[in-house]
Amino acid sequence: MLKEGDEAPDIHLRTDTGEEFRLSALKGKRVVLYFYPKADTPGCTVEACEFRDDLRAFAGKGTAVVGVSPDKPEAQAKFKRKYDLPFPLLADEEKAAAQAYGVWKEKNLYGKKSMGIERTTFVIAPDGRIEKIYNKVKAKGHAAEVLAGL
């Protein structure tokens, strides 16, 4: 289990445009890396749109925002277009990043157990270390909470 102060695992995934993305390419910049369960679902839409609406404030603090879910790049692209999301959405189809960050977990919904993303956000410092972890995130108000913590 990752904890604050740990080196952030590098991730290498495809973006919503199909391009290659490496987290290590953003070293030297603070990064908000947020994991969400599924593109274009109610909670994930609220969370993404709040990050979109606050993006100028994040940029003003030298912070990039990157979203990650197990969706395919095509689903990420559709979600991004539909809500005009101005930051990269990463396709973690193999759940490698989710597993590296410890957010691929057994979930229990109405007595039914299944594996899925536990909504979690990591703030990664410019030196590549995890500065802050937000576990079991509630989508509404989360972007403002992260912004206030920077």
Active site residues: 44
Helix/strand/coil for 15:
strand
Q: Please state, in angstroms and rounded to a whole number, the distance separating the CA atoms of residues 48 and 139.
A: 9
- Judge contact between 117 and 34, C-beta under 8 A: no
Tokens of 3: 């904890």
Helix/strand/coil for 25:
helix
Read off φ and ψ for residue 95, nearest 5 degrees. Answer: 65, 20
